[in-house]
Amino acid sequence: MANITGTLTAAGPALGAAIEQITRDLGLSNEEVAAALGAPPKMLDRWRAGLVAPGPAAADRLQRLSTVHDRLYGLFKPHDVLWWLRAPNNDLNGQQPAQFLTTGEFHRVEAAIDRFERAAARW
């Protein structure tokens, strides 16, 4: 899985491709990605088309979502990423990690990934 983090700051085809890859690879709907980025779905469409770049707040959220993407694909096989995002997670009080992504609570998902990595390192 290619690291997509470097393509998130300028309008153009690379930005659109990165958003499309994140959406597809994380199994999120357009509405879920737009919510995660704090933007209306129409704005997500404009970013995806490469017409404009996200503002600073949305770019930061996109960067964090990209980092979550890259970390998960570094830990799991693709089908396991989708399962992990949609399965109830004990580190998140039984909630699905995807729910926290769509509310922009990336720190909660990042902390759950950190705990998983620490546990896996002990095996």
| pLDDT for 51 | 86
- Model confidence band, residue 1 (pLDDT cutoffs 50, 70, 90): very low
Half-sphere exposure of 92 (CA within 13 A, CB side): 24
Q: What is the pTM of this model?
A: 0.88
Cα 95 vs. chain centroid, distance in angstroms?
17
pLDDT tens profile 90-122: 999 999 999 999 999 999 999 999 999 998 888
Residue 16 contacts residue 48 (beta carbons within 8 Å): yes
Q: Kindly report the backbone phi and psi dihedral angles of residue 114, in degrees, each rounded to the nearest multiple of 5, phi listed first.
A: -55, -45
| pLDDT for 9 | 61
pLDDT tens profile 63-74: 999 999 999 999
- Model confidence band, residue 7 (pLDDT cutoffs 50, 70, 90): low
When pLDDT is averaged across residues 33-39 and rounded to a whole number, the result is: 96
- Is 5 a residue whose pLDDT tops 90? no
